[in-house]
Amino acid sequence: MRPVRKRTAAVNDPAPARAAVKGPAPARRRGRTAVVLLTADLRVHDHPPLRAACGAADEVVPVFVRDPAVDRAGFTAPNRLAFLADCLADLDRSLRERGGRLVVRTGDTVAETCRIAREADADEVHTAAGCTGFARARETRLRRALEEDGRRLYVHDGVDSVVPPGDVVPQGSDHFAVFTPYFRRWSERPVRAPLPAPRTVRVPEDLRSDPLPSRADVPGVSAGLAAGGETEARRRLRSWTSRHLGAYEDRHDVLDDRAGDGTSRLSPYLHFGALSPVELVHRVRAGRAGEEAGPGAAAFVRQVCWRDFHRQVLAARPDAVREDYRPRHDRWRRGDEAEADLRAWREGRTGYPLVDAGMRQLAHEGWMHNRARLVTASFLTKTLYVDWREGARHFLALLADGDVAENQLNWQWVAGTGTDTRPNRVLNPVRQALRHDPDGTYVRRWVPELAGLAGPAVHEPWRLKGPDRAAYDYPDPLVGLDDGLARFRQARGTD
């Protein structure tokens, strides 16, 4: 029996439950049970594996496996564990509303999935395709193990991306290496219709489940971490798109987040699959009742495309998690001085208020505005000339949306080892601050020791002299911007 890779329909399909399928569609039989292995797809709406399993079987086992191998790979962090706990609790509630429940197991994902398939006497397992090397290797092992047991694995594409990696490729290559041509082709692709949540999910009664993890049991969580879960994701999607989407094109780079809504803050929900990117794009393109989707929607959808872009790069080049996508022969600074600079950057004490504000927002919320991510990452990799891997590791230790594809490839983009066509550009943190936080509100919020400095003066405290300067307990800049720039240009051989 061969495993089957399923594709949900790529086009608007009036009957989405009959999505296009590669290979034989399983016919529904009485008494039949299917397992749905959930990974980064913690939702009930627009869930192709769940819909397919509900369509094929009388009883369905939605299972999430807490796998120590994921921890060992170094990609778990308190903020994401807490957010995950929220997502699992919410998913369990949604399944219970539909007559079912979530089954949680702990152990090796492959062994546990096979065990539960045996216990439930399920002859098929449905799961979503992943884009990382880790996920793909796990899929291969699962397929083999299930085959040995006489069971069948269905892997569904298009669950955590709008366009699955590999579906849009340039001639003669397995992926796009530059965003703009990818975006053009991506935009031409019709997007399949989102699938409704199943009305009922019947789960066999006698299956054991470990207790659901709880956010309260996770130590070291950021005080300002958002609540996770599909219900919250859908609430946020509704309220943000109705009130702020229209202004996105103009406001997405505004750092002053007193209003807090220049961007959607949906990234952690997308990371855990609490929100479907397919549904997100549909909703945004559809606009408000009776209105055309405007430039805000177009700018937003373009941003969501970056997510798919990185996923298709990583699927083709799994080594880009750790290796330079485009090596620039960097000899990054190492040693005590570089370590001290890195520490100051992590702690938000570089002496550049915008950089420090971003780093402190990250520590407090487990999230950082995209513009601040760009500035803080450029400062580390270019002005301080410290290896992007160090910065990526720190971001992954804190970000609720910390995602191997998006984090590593954005870091590489900023460091100039990735897909940026201008790899040696350096963002000046003062100019960026004056442009994107002109009144200094963002900085004063996150660097309260400078709150006494009114207006844009907060961006350059080093201009103060004598006792005025001494009144502020805030460090001097780690390095002059001109010196940092000269060091970087020399290292890259562009001076």
Ligand X SMILES: Cc1cc2nc3c(=O)[nH]c(=O)nc-3n(C[C@H](O)[C@H](O)[C@H](O)COP(=O)(O)OP(=O)(O)OC[C@H]3O[C@@H](n4cnc5c(N)ncnc54)[C@H](O)[C@@H]3O)c2cc1C
265: left (phi over 0), alpha (psi -120 to 50) or beta: left
CA distances in angstroms from 320 to 217, 331, 405, listed in the order given: 34, 18, 9
Among 94, 161, 264, 350, binds ligand X (CB under 6 A): 264
For the CB of residue 414, give the shortest distance to ligand X in the complex, in Å. 5
Of 175, 406, 195, 431, nearest in space to 306 by CA: 406
Q: Which of residues 109-168 bind ligand X (CB under 6 A)?
A: none
Among 370, 428, 449, 489, binds ligand X (CB under 6 A): 370
Across the strands, what pairs with 105? 65
Q: Which of residues 309-328 bind ligand X (CB under 6 A)?
A: 310
- x/- track of binding to ligand X for residues 414-453 (CB under 6 A): x---------------------------------------
402 binds ligand X (CB under 6 A): yes
Count, residues near ligand X per rule CB under 6 A: 27
Nearer to ligand X, 143 or 373 (CB): 373
239 binds ligand X (CB under 6 A): no
Nearer to ligand X, 154 or 248 (CB): 248
Binding-site entries: 248, 263-267, 300, 401-403
Cβ pair 182, 168 in contact under 8 A? yes
Cβ pair 200, 99 in contact under 8 A? yes
For the CB of residue 284, give the shortest distance to ligand X in the complex, in Å. 9
With b for 16 or more beta-carbon neighbours within 10 A and e for fewer, the 413-430 pattern comes to bbbbbbbbeebeebbbbe
Q: Which of residues 270-299 bind ligand X (CB under 6 A)?
A: 270-271
CA distances in angstroms from 422 to 51, 224, 371, 378, 395, listed in the order given: 44, 35, 17, 13, 23
Work out the number of other CB atoms within 10 angstroms of the CB of residue 12: 12
341/478 Cα distance (integer angstroms): 7
Q: Are β-strands 103-106 and 59-66 bridged in parallel, bridged antiparallel, or unpaired?
A: parallel
Nearer to ligand X, 122 or 255 (CB): 255
Nearer to ligand X, 321 or 450 (CB): 321
184: left (phi over 0), alpha (psi -120 to 50) or beta: alpha
For the CB of residue 137, give the shortest distance to ligand X in the complex, in Å. 21
Stretch that binds ligand X, among 3-11, 139-147, 207-215, 261-269 (CB under 6 A): 261-269
Binding-site entries for FAD: 248, 263-267, 300, 401-403
61 binds ligand X (CB under 6 A): no
304 binds ligand X (CB under 6 A): yes
Q: Which of residues 178-237 bind ligand X (CB under 6 A)?
A: none
CA distances in angstroms from 445 to 123, 225, 261, 360, listed in the order given: 56, 17, 16, 10
Nearer to ligand X, 263 or 350 (CB): 263
Stretch that binds ligand X, among 167-175, 314-322, 366-374, 445-453 (CB under 6 A): 366-374
Tokens found for residue 474: 């805030």
Among 35, 226, 377, 384, binds ligand X (CB under 6 A): 377
103 binds ligand X (CB under 6 A): no
Q: H/E element holding 83?
A: helix 78-97
303 binds ligand X (CB under 6 A): yes
Nearer to ligand X, 105 or 310 (CB): 310
Cβ pair 298, 404 in contact under 8 A? no
| CA 199 to centroid of chain Cα atoms | 28
35 binds ligand X (CB under 6 A): no
∠ Cα 144 148 149 (to 5°)? 120
Nearer to ligand X, 202 or 393 (CB): 393
Among 252, 382, 389, 444, binds ligand X (CB under 6 A): 252
212/270 Cα distance (integer angstroms): 21
76/88 Cα distance (integer angstroms): 16
The residues that touch ligand X, with contacts defined as CB under 6 A, are: 252, 263-267, 270-271, 303-304, 306-307, 310, 370, 373-374, 377, 395, 399, 401-403, 406-407, 410-411, 414
